[in-house]
Structure 1
């Protein structure tokens, strides 16, 4: 196992994407392939991604560790001059504990690079061959979660968000699906399409579009409690006549002046 004693180590905090290795960004793949220490969220990240690290790489699973334990390992390895990759599921800016880790690393004067990852809502929309912003129908995408044990600020409560009628992507909400459905029905029609995605892009992916009124029943029948995304959107039944103004022959713009 190589160590670069006497040289400065560095930490890469990397978004692993939704699961499939071919949905990693090139920058993320390079970071994993060059890692000397891989600290990975084994409860959520596809093991195939950890296998991309070189044979000499030290692999540390985090499913049984606290944040303090993870940080202790990370700081110890980087102090020894090692190239440390902290691999999170999805994207680093969504529910990844990035802020807590970054604060501790920067306080310790550790060099850090953050590498984004594809998010599950994007992979889900792609699997459905769906656009979530349809002209004249919906132009806003909201990423959020049910309150659960950690709660959300009152201004971001589900009823407030649902009142927008936007494309709503809900993470970490499967355990509260009955309550979520009840709240959404106050603002969306009962037949609003809901895509339920389990382990999107993994070999055992399951994805189905159901009416909002069946969201809880289907989730409970499938016994979904984790790694599940709900995508609630009128865009999932967009009419064939909906089209982007940008590409319309009747629309002028900077690169196509006077087009008719």
Structure 2
């Protein structure tokens, strides 16, 4: 069996119990070494064959999976965060389907959730925003025109922007199409890692602050009014509000 595993955002203790258990019995491990914390490998069996996919092509990765499967071995394919978000697992799954090789996906804690924890913020504030947009700016990977930051910003929802901090100036200019320039912005570098760093600002000054810190990768950009000091309460625990469990 091939197991696609979400290793979480960085802190090895954020690996799920199931993920740790599966890693512990897999004979072959392929992990995204450029992003996954090496501490996650401490759960591997001593005789496990370990490969760092940072130095591999898709064909090389699939070849190892196929050979392991033929030998009756289990493979832990370890991705950072949750593999379903910018994890490049779609192409791997397509190749496995072509070869009738079974696989399973074990979800992980995404970095955007770790970033929200670092900020001590709820991403969905009652009466302020109930929508979260996860996106990125166009780079080597092309973006559909209808998903441009210029258009998405017009919703003024909570937005989390992946893989884009190296283009922070361009990000800000596109966001200004919809958000007010005074809208708060947070950049969280290496959320949940020991060297985590949080930079707070607005669309007016966040670019300068990020460049001053020299941050060019491994960071998320979060924008929206949820970052403000808002006094808002939900109906869930309101004593005047009833629901299925409380009359």
TM-score above 0.5, yes or no:
yes
In the alignment, what sits opposite 1:27? 18
In the alignment, what sits opposite 1:123? 114
- Tell me if the contact between 1:13 and 1:92 (Cα under 8 Å) persists in the aligned partners: yes
Q: Deviations over 1:154-179 (max 9, x none)?
A: 11111111111000000000121110
In the alignment, what sits opposite 1:245? 235
Alignment of 1:71-220 (within 5 A): 71-220=62-211
Could you tell me the TM-score, scaled by structure 1's length?
0.92
- Tell me if the contact between 1:134 and 1:238 (Cα under 8 Å) persists in the aligned partners: no
In the alignment, what sits opposite 1:254? 244
SS of 2:169's partner is: helix
Q: Does 1:38 align with 2:26?
A: no
Could you tell me the TM-score, scaled by structure 2's length?
0.96
In the alignment, the residues of structure 2 paired with residue 54 and residue 218 of structure 1 have an alpha-carbon distance, to the nearest angstrom, of 44
In the alignment, the residues of structure 2 paired with residue 121 and residue 175 of structure 1 have an alpha-carbon distance, to the nearest angstrom, of 17
- Tell me if the contact between 1:25 and 1:117 (Cα under 8 Å) persists in the aligned partners: yes
RMSD after superposition: 1.2
- Tell me if the contact between 1:185 and 1:213 (Cα under 8 Å) persists in the aligned partners: no
In the alignment, the residues of structure 2 paired with residue 28 and residue 195 of structure 1 have an alpha-carbon distance, to the nearest angstrom, of 30
In the alignment, the residues of structure 1 paired with residue 22 and residue 107 of structure 2 have an alpha-carbon distance, to the nearest angstrom, of 12
Uncovered stretches (5+) of structure 2, i.e. residues with no partner: none
In the alignment, what sits opposite 2:217? 226
SS of 2:43's partner is: coil
In the alignment, the residues of structure 1 paired with residue 64 and residue 204 of structure 2 have an alpha-carbon distance, to the nearest angstrom, of 47
In the alignment, the residues of structure 2 paired with residue 174 and residue 244 of structure 1 have an alpha-carbon distance, to the nearest angstrom, of 33
In the alignment, the residues of structure 2 paired with residue 177 and residue 225 of structure 1 have an alpha-carbon distance, to the nearest angstrom, of 9
Q: Which runs of 4+ in 1 moved over 6 A?
A: none
Q: Deviations over 1:64-84 (max 9, x none)?
A: 111111111111122111110
Uncovered stretches (5+) of structure 1, i.e. residues with no partner: 1-9
Residue of 56, 61, 65 corresponding to 1:65:
56
SS of 1:163's partner is: helix
SS of 1:55's partner is: coil
